[in-house]
Structure 1
Amino acid sequence: MRDWGIRQWATAAAGTALTLLVLGLPAVLIPNGIFAREIEPTWWSHPVWVAASVLSGLLLATYTRPVPEGSDGPGGGRGLGGGLLAWFAIGCPVCNKIVLLALGTSGAMAWFAPLQPFLAAAGIVLLVVALRARLRANASCPLPTSARGSHGSD
């Protein structure tokens, strides 16, 4: 990341801001009039929200720099999975329609709510693994310089 230019850092900042909104609005970590929350966020919801957003922004920035031709590079599925797990982790357990349909209100509180910290940890780990894989792929395949080799003065 120390070799990143303005483009990568701007992408990381924009990706972080977008992820903060995408995760924070429906989880009502950003107060808004569109979504409501029945149960107050846990003490760890805000740090997980910020960490997942920063990691997602950094991961997005790795896609502004090419990886080996014909490859989307490593990390794509893990990044998406990490973001989804973080979203489930920071959301209200009884406001999530999927959880309510599967477990009911009492099941959401008895079974899903205690799992949320583990979902948060798994989401952050997946985002870190995806970011590490993308950074390694980018470092192992540096960009060719346009001044060298492309004008064929051999």
Structure 2
Amino acid sequence: MGQVQFPLSRATVVVPSWRWGRGVGAALVSAAIVGVPTDVIDTDWFTRMTPVRWWEYPALVLTAGLTGLWFAIAVRGSADDRGRTRVLGSSLLSALAVGCPICNKIVIGLLGVSGALGLWAPIQPALAVLSLAVLVVAVVLQWRNRTCATDTCAVESAAE
């Protein structure tokens, strides 16, 4: 069990340590799923036709971190399907946001190369912000539905 003091709260929450492992694992998987095919994480498997833009690195790190945080939070009862859909949908949106604008076959098919660079590329940062906003909402909702039973976490008041 590990204690975490949240800066905006006066409570210390004890979360089962296996949840932190689950969160780190989910963050690593998320980073790989979004970063490798978009070639933000450079590998020999994919080739990017445009250079990685500066904002794509923080977008990838924040996407992975928020996804991991969502999975680390223990929730009551059965799995939250709507929350999982939000997380998976925003990860897909993040992949579209950080991906090479002319490497996306759907965008090229709909807009052509000049449209991909002239229309799609300028809206990709907004897609990244939207994706991160949806992930933040999912994490906040997951936190509100967290499990706080005596056998899984304890809240100690720091106002004593």
**TM value normalised by structure 2:** 0.80
Q: Does 1:13 align with 2:24?
A: yes
Q: Does 1:142 align with 2:148?
A: yes
- Separation in 2, partners of 1:66, 1:75: 11
Which ranges of 4 or more aligned residues in structure 1 deviate by more than 6 Å? none
CA contact (8 A) 2:67 2:87 kept: yes
Q: Corresponding residue for 2:14?
A: 3
CA contact (8 A) 1:99 1:108 kept: yes
Q: Corresponding residue for 1:67?
A: 76
**Gapped regions of structure 2 (runs ≥ 5):** 5-12, 153-160
CA shift digits 1:107-151 (9 cap, x unpaired)? 11111100000000000000000011011011xx533649xxxxx
Q: Corresponding residue for 2:53?
A: 42
Q: Corresponding residue for 2:94?
A: 86
- Equivalences, count: 141
For 1:54, which of 55, 65, 76 is the aligned residue?
A: 65
Q: Which moved more, 1:41-50 or 1:81-90?
A: 81-90
Report the structure, 1 or 2, having the larger strand content. 2
- Separation in 2, partners of 1:48, 1:111: 20
For 2:37, which of 16, 22, 26 is the aligned residue?
A: 26
Q: Does 1:130 align with 2:141?
A: no
Q: Does 1:113 align with 2:124?
A: no
**Gapped regions of structure 1 (runs ≥ 5):** 147-154
Superposed displacement of residue 73, structure 1: 6.0
